[in-house]
Chains A and B, each alone.
Chain A
């Protein structure tokens, strides 16, 4: 067991005496000092009245609009698919029978059924656009909306502003994915990435604490010695990766000294009944962790439901290996989502957190209206649905609709850029805010003329 206090008072090189390196917490975290924050507030970029958090559930693989949120029971069998609609607790809104628990919370969430994007029908493009509002092009790495929030608001206390659970999205067919980090904002605004499976029986955040044989005094002495060794290579700071290494050490020490973060990651504090409610799987436990993060001051949590679409059962129901069959929605993926999502809404609501926590769930595209010869559905960015809840969202409604076979938006078509604008609006970020791009070129958080989906508020 790691002890928070050293065996005795130790003197530090700056002449101060402290009982514990844990108190050496810095005023700055992730490179953002308090004056910066004040300056941002003064400029009006940050609305301090509206201090909203966000949990962003990335449903990797691309859930089928026709089998989840936008049922077409009157369409021919090869369109409507195997599942039936069920009533929710809001009259007039029906969703798929694969989400019985979620159906009890329709008053809390709003569906958007008319999403589309026009980029290539591959996973990467949707991942990029849903998380940044923009497509990766021109060599510019766009920042994830959670990183934008981190940049504009800084951390609350000693917890990082943006945490990514459980792992980044890996290879989904194209090149390595973009849009999951701070991009041009600089790596110091990258999310804290868990990088381990919270449903593993021996789950703990790797290396969060020193081994028992290294006392707090030694941790501090090591830090000091390391600073001395590095004092001869100040020039390295011209290189982004070297600066990043420093930031990472700083962040690591801050995390080590953050009792709150350790608590947040300690799933041992949750009983089995609670874990069962969320579902004892990677996504369920990540959502439970997300709730624990928000309770302890993290502003933005991204949860990736899957890391890849290959050789794993996911939303990517092409019908044949290495992808998934449509039946997995009933057998595995649907219940996995239903349990975690419903529990998250219930807990946030019961704890009074839903009103200041936006919960967003979306895939990267929809799926072909017509079932393919393998019995699955292929990629279809022309139309899909997503869900918003909490954080000032007006629940109990469906915004936009699709045509009679769920192939194209019928009214109120909405783009990923508008989704990003909606999230920022909910988080209290002024959409006119300009971020410092490469070579100091200002880049607006969303392009001029892109508006939030106002019906949601």
Chain B
């Protein structure tokens, strides 16, 4: 390690930090203190002198490098930002690549263009490149650079020392280290971050002053341009850093001001490894978990989360009466082997794969849907399922998975949507320039895109019948370089351009490899959110290094377990549903009402559109008819996104146009309220000649029995005596109970009230 160009103080810090684990915690109580105490587990205490400003940079041994110093300076000063010379059209005839994604091109532009006027090698200080930003001569962008600054010195010295061009042999940045990695701060306290860039030749530089910082939750903490963090609220947030297309982050936390005895945490039930990791996080942040939920809460919750359906009154009564200790685990097993489970998860994956007749027609849509349904029914491992899509060949009506390629004919669509669906990651930015928040570069994007270059398609004889095959030739060109790059899955191994290996096989190999940390994580996170109400990474389509999970150990643990068990989705669901974390009450306690991130209680959520409509049909005993769909089909069983249902549309069924969880909305709206109050959906079911209201009227069921039945059917519980009495008196408010029409209206109103209540519309 050649540390001669680093100041010695930094060298010491590197040793300390590389030797230690990620659990360094810096305790700091006052904003004014200039020394920190680093508690290095278990007992070493080191004191750092931080009276010197952060980010002192000295001239490296090999001199300033264009790639590693001049470009970061230009980025920090904003010269190559989208608003200035980094704009697609440049600015005033001078065009740099956005945030310096192509140093070679930038070098050419600076040294050759404009007749070489931009740089004066003999008298560096007279270079236009320096005269303009210092406003020695007029500059449209104003004064950006001070002649006494380090940034000025970097540029002038780089010119003076012969303007060495960027070369492949330059040391390349390999990763960033942020210090401290984690800190605990009180509200109002500040913390200066330091960032070290590590290079391929093993040297490191303090780049604190050139890094770009951002806070993921600025209501908890903010960070300024120089890396100084300021704490505002309670909780934990990540501060991410970006430098030369490398990213990293630090976590800062401010535990809630709660007094909770250690016993609360030690006594909290632990059913499997999930619980240990959830409790550990809660203890750190001083949040007490809620109690475990009751059996009646559990049965409704488990049915809805695993299958999207309500339990019948009989199922509820049977479950409540059972006394076996493992009855919850047994119920989970029953649910996971039910047909309703298959329907529900087929619908979820159909959302993810955008199953719709809009692009592929009705017949092919069914073929795709049936393939997904068979996969769910067989609990086909996730890696196998995705591999079958990626490597799909043959007739799309016989091999449903092959329709994925008919739906995504553009290589850019494929590259981007497949990353979203299978990696939970948006790489769209990198289509045109390096990703501003991620490590993905434009070159990586087009290496990835080139994996899809050889998909052949020809129409068959029947409608919707397309033959998918692998072309022996075909390339996707990098738009700026005008040539294809070796096909490479993001950070995977490159294939030579002339390799005979099927590129899609190569992609599938990388994608589904247990070593690919994104693939399994993305799926685990999606499934976790389905049950727990919030992804460990939120949003679930925003997995990136600068958006770390709320509980990293837990996501890692779940991912490892999922991979170790052969990508077994049902196994993952079973694990989650059996955890004490899943079986917590939704009722907040005094310490956790603010918490929506760390799973201290079950997060209540509005039911998905399809589940609400199916539940209304189920309770009223009047099925919903969907135009063009088989009679008796439930909303959750509809294969196509193109279904004409006002109810499903306003309640947020996704249109399946872009791959994004955000397409599905569970947000209540006034339109929904108006439809529930005045619309046809519920009102017609209440008036239907064959429904539950009819049955109640015909059989002359007593008010009390009616209420009891409704509560069991819709809310999966018995009503209390008080509830029964209050409802009966409110029902018969007009005192017209004798007249049969009036009686029927009162019953309709009662059923309406149950079906529009929050207890019904929410899972809790």
Contact = CB atoms under 8 A, between A and B. Distances in A.
Interface of A: 10-11, 13, 118-121, 137-140, 171, 174-176, 187, 192-193, 195, 205-211, 213-214, 217-219, 221-222, 224-226, 228-233, 235-236, 238-239, 241-242, 244-246, 248-249, 251-253, 255-256, 368, 382, 408, 437-441
B150 interface: no
Nearest to B81: A118
B515 interface: no
Contacts, number: 185
Nearest to A308: B657
Interface stretch (B343-351, B464-472, B694-702, B727-735): B727-735
Contacts of A206: 646, 671, 674-675, 679
Contacts of B746: 221
A224 B732 CA distance: 12
A245 B606 contact: yes
B337 to A, nearest CB: 31
B82 A120 contact: yes
Given A226-B756, A239-B604, A11 B761 contact: no
B52 interface: no
B730 A221 contact: yes
Contacts of B666: 241
B764 A233 contact: yes
B198 interface: no
Contacts of A140: 218-219
In the complex, the 5 A-B pairs of residues with the closest C-beta atoms, listed nearest first: A118-B83, A225-B753, A438-B219, A138-B218, A439-B233
Interface string B483-523: 00000000000000000000000000000000000000000
A332 B593 CA distance: 53
Contacts of A13: 730, 733
B657 A171 contact: yes
Nearest to A228: B726
A437 B220 CA distance: 11
A209 B216 contact: no
Interface in B216-231: 216-220, 222
B749 A218 contact: yes
A252 to B, nearest CB: 4
13 contacts: A137-B214, A140-B218, A193-B671, A207-B678, A210-B678, A228-B723, A229-B760, A233-B759, A235-B586, A239-B762, A246-B758, A252-B677, A253-B677
B246 interface: no
A245 B214 CA distance: 34
Contacts of B669: 193, 195, 248
Given A206-B674, A217-B734, A228 B219 contact: no
A10 B234 contact: no
A224 B733 contact: yes
Nearest to B235: A439
Contacts of B82: 118-121
B670 A252 contact: yes
> Which residue, of A120, A209, A211, A245, has the highest number of chain B Cβ atoms within 10 A?
A245
Given A10-B734, A140-B219, A225-B730, A242 B604 contact: yes
Given A139-B218, A230-B757, A241-B762, 15 more contacts: A138-B218, A176-B662, A206-B675, A221-B730, A224-B733, A228-B730, A229-B723, A232-B723, A235-B588, A239-B604, A241-B668, A252-B670, A368-B89, A438-B233, A440-B233
Contacts of B687: 213
B603 A176 contact: no
Q: Which of B234, B674, B731, B762 has the most CB of A within 10 A?
A: B674
Contacts of B233: 438-441
Nearest to A438: B219
A441 B232 contact: yes
A236 B658 contact: no
Nearest to A138: B218
A236 B215 contact: no
B244 interface: no
Contacts of A253: 677
A378 B217 CA distance: 34
B731 A225 contact: yes
A256 B683 CA distance: 17
B672 A248 contact: yes
Interface string B70-99: 000000000001110001110000000000
Contacts of B677: 207, 210, 219, 222, 249, 252-253, 256
B282 to A, nearest CB: 17
B129 to A, nearest CB: 21
B274 to A, nearest CB: 22
A252 B218 contact: no
A249 B673 contact: yes
A70 to B, nearest CB: 18
A382 B759 contact: no
A207 B676 CA distance: 9
Contacts of A208: 674, 678
Contacts of A230: 757-759
A417 B308 CA distance: 45
B758 A236 contact: yes
Contact of A139 (B83, B216, B675, B727): B216
A207 B674 contact: yes
A241 B216 CA distance: 22
Contact of B750 (A176, A225, A408): A225
B637 interface: no
B678 A256 contact: yes
A379 to B, nearest CB: 9
Given A214-B683, A233-B758, A222 B749 contact: yes
Contact of A226 (B657, B668, B745, B753): B753
A255 B218 contact: no
B754 interface: yes
Nearest to B233: A439
A192 B758 contact: no
A152 B425 CA distance: 39
Contact of B758 (A11, A120, A242, A256): A242
Interface in B564-614: 586-588, 593, 603-606
B745 A218 contact: yes
B752 interface: yes
Contact of A242 (B426, B670, B762): B762
Nearest to B675: A207
Nearest to A310: B657
Nearest to B237: A139
Contacts of A218: 745, 749
A229 B753 contact: yes
B643 interface: no
A138 B753 contact: no
A225 B727 contact: yes
B421 interface: no
A233 B217 CA distance: 30
Contacts of A224: 730, 733
Nearest to B586: A235
A154 B95 CA distance: 49
A335 to B, nearest CB: 30
B320 interface: no
B727 A248 contact: no
